[in-house]
Chains A and B, each alone.
Chain A
Amino acid sequence: MTLLQSLKNFVRSKSIHVAYVDVGSCNGCDVEVLACLAPRYDIEQYGIFVHNNPREADVLLVIGAYTPGWEGKLEGLWEKIPDPKVAVAIGNCPISGCLFNRPHTLVDPPVSKHIPIAAQVPGCPPRPTEILSAILSVAPLVYRDYEVRK
């Protein structure tokens, strides 16, 4: 790897844009993602900017257990995110459906059936610190050697 490439990798891993999308959860994980913005956890000190615009995002946080209302739309949203990109599943819902995955339910988990998921943060809901460390652990992978891989 050239020096220029490693410099690029380092610099780019320090500027990550995050979008989150709720595909049918109880809202608990949404508020924990919002709590990451609080001065106590301060997600922006790590160079992560949450602004919820899929067209500029690098990391997509997927929350919830894939309801029928998102049929085809989540895939469309995933298409709109420019490469390179990763998706992180927040909470039990996108992983297993948690306690919504019972007889007579309308949800269709896991979300990994519909879009590729790079990391999973289990918990109902996970703590903000866990969400933060998950984003930080995938952040260097998003851009690493992107030109080479392409």
Chain B
Amino acid sequence: MKRTVDVSIPVGPVHPCWKEPTRVKCETRGEFVLSAEVELGYMKKGIERIMQGRPWQEVMFLAERVCGICSVIHNMVFIEALEKMSSIEVPERAALLRVIVNELDRMQSHILANFSYCYTIEHETLGMYLLDSREKVLDELERITGARITCAYMVPGGVRFDLRSEDALHLRASMDMLEKEITRYTGMFEHGPLIALRSRGIGILTRDAAREACAVGPTARASGLPESDRRLHHPTYRKLGFTPISREEGDNFARIMMRFQEMLQSISLIRKCLDILPVGPIRGGGIPGAGEIAYSGEAPRGELSYFIRTDAAGRVIDIAIQTPSIMNIEACCHYMLTGVASMADVPSTFVSSDPCIACTER
């Protein structure tokens, strides 16, 4: 079919609003975006090729560096896959500590995503408030694990460090403070009239389109697909009585609100963990052996899957990683961006799906 296209506008690879290099090519007629296409390939490092043939002790650190923003979940999924493969038991205290650290990581990732969105629609005040809260979350992460970004907290059979009682008190106090702050920022975002003009009804991803595009994570849940949450299948989250949240609108506003709501949910999950945290060991025994497994977990951006095959010495023979962002980028380019009324909404719509290029390309 012949189409009238005025101009094809490239956005990126170096763009003021984007943290990482990627390029979106938009075919436009006037300001109206007819179709969009993403061009990847600026960050391909070949991590899976480096991983092959290396012992798990090394692959553990490489897995963490697939993505720097959600490093904890990459560590967690890799280690839990090894544990499930070699049937290594985890003490209950360690399992709960893993959930605490994972939820802290999810919070900081969601805050960063919402900061990026607020920065893109030029609501810098709210963006800076959010970055300030993120530092508080990172402080807690550093107090528990010893590092801000790449913590390598989980090891097969448990976790590295115990949560001291004074740290638990501090964590509770921080959660109270963060809950207050995030509730306030959620209100600011929800009731801001100018934010609504830039966000409501823009970049709509309907429920059927989300299912067709295999969208995952907050992007899918904002379009009414709560069952996409992999935490429903995790034994520790099940014990905590986790139920996913979802929204129906499927526009930019819903995706950002979804993340705000998930932050509050993370806070309540951390509190629940602290309430039932038993006294006991944090590390059981066990070393990974030979086996083959496919295992998934819920990253801040959606479902993260690892396929691992190891030999008897614990060397990784074969590994494949599927990260959530690629599905969301597909959904963004083929469904959200088509029909966006203005070029100015292209970066904000792209950012609202929280693309992480580093883990997409690896």
A residues near B, CB below 8 A?
Answer: 19, 21-32, 34-35, 37-40, 51-54, 64-65, 67-70, 73, 77, 98-100, 102-107, 124-125, 127
Chain B contributes a number of interface residues (CB within 8 A of A) equal to 40
Nearest-neighbor residue (CB-CB) of B128 within chain A? A39
* B16 and A67 within 8 A (CB): no
A127 CB to nearest B CB, Å: 7
Q: What are 16 of the A-B contact pairs (CB < 8 Å)?
A: A22-B19, A26-B65, A26-B150, A27-B68, A27-B357, A30-B19, A30-B358, A39-B128, A39-B132, A52-B15, A67-B42, A99-B50, A99-B62, A100-B45, A102-B50, A106-B46
Nearest-neighbor residue (CB-CB) of B15 within chain A? A52
B81 CB to nearest A CB, Å: 20
State the CA gap A39–B44 with chains docked (Å).
33
Q: Note all chain A residues with C-beta closer than 8 A to B13.
A: 73
In residues 46-87 of chain B, which contact A (Cβ within 8 Å)? 46-47, 49-50, 52, 61-62, 65-69, 71
* A107 and B20 within 8 A (CB): no
**Could you give, for residues 120-154 of chain B, a 1 whenever the CB lies within 8 Å of some chain A CB and a 0 otherwise?**
00000000100110110010000000001110000
State the CA gap A28–B112 with chains docked (Å).
12
Q: Note all chain B residues with C-beta closer than 8 A to A37.
A: 128, 131
**Which of B16, B20, B62, B66 touches A30 (beta carbons < 8 Å)?**
B20
* B132 and A54 within 8 A (CB): no
**Which of B45, B61, B67, B135 touches A67 (beta carbons < 8 Å)?**
B45
Q: Note all chain B residues with C-beta closer than 8 A to A27.
A: 19-20, 67-69, 356-359
**Which of B52, B61, B68, B128 touches A31 (beta carbons < 8 Å)?**
B68
* B20 and A22 within 8 A (CB): yes
* B44 and A68 within 8 A (CB): yes
Nearest-neighbor residue (CB-CB) of A91 within chain B? B68
- 8 closest Cβ pairs, A-B complex: A28-B68, A27-B68, A27-B358, A38-B131, A106-B46, A26-B65, A69-B42, A26-B68
Count A/B pairs, Cβ under 8 Å: 124
A19 CB to nearest B CB, Å: 7
State the CA gap A19–B358 with chains docked (Å).
19
Q: Note all chain A residues with C-beta closer than 8 A to B148.
A: 32, 125, 127
* A29 and B68 within 8 A (CB): yes
Q: Note all chain B residues with C-beta closer than 8 A to A39.
A: 128, 131-132
* B50 and A104 within 8 A (CB): yes
B residues near A, CB below 8 A?
Answer: 13-16, 19-21, 41-47, 49-50, 52, 61-62, 65-69, 71, 112, 115, 128, 131-132, 134-135, 138, 148-150, 356-359
Q: Note all chain B residues with C-beta closer than 8 A to A103.
A: 50
Q: Note all chain A residues with C-beta closer than 8 A to B19.
A: 22, 27, 30-31, 34
State the CA gap A106–B15 with chains docked (Å).
24
* A104 and B68 within 8 A (CB): no
Nearest-neighbor residue (CB-CB) of B71 within chain A? A28
**Which of A23, A40, A69, A77 touches B41 (beta carbons < 8 Å)?**
A69
**Which of A22, A52, A100 touches B47 (beta carbons < 8 Å)?**
A100
Nearest-neighbor residue (CB-CB) of B129 within chain A? A39
Q: Note all chain B residues with C-beta closer than 8 A to A68.
A: 44
State the CA gap A21–B15 with chains docked (Å).
9
* A65 and B135 within 8 A (CB): no
Q: Note all chain A residues with C-beta closer than 8 A to B115.
A: 34
* A67 and B150 within 8 A (CB): no
* B16 and A51 within 8 A (CB): yes
* B52 and A26 within 8 A (CB): no
Q: Note all chain A residues with C-beta closer than 8 A to B359.
A: 27
State the CA gap A125–B49 with chains docked (Å).
23
B64 CB to nearest A CB, Å: 8
State the CA gap A37–B65 with chains docked (Å).
23
State the CA gap A29–B138 with chains docked (Å).
14
A72 CB to nearest B CB, Å: 12
* B61 and A99 within 8 A (CB): yes
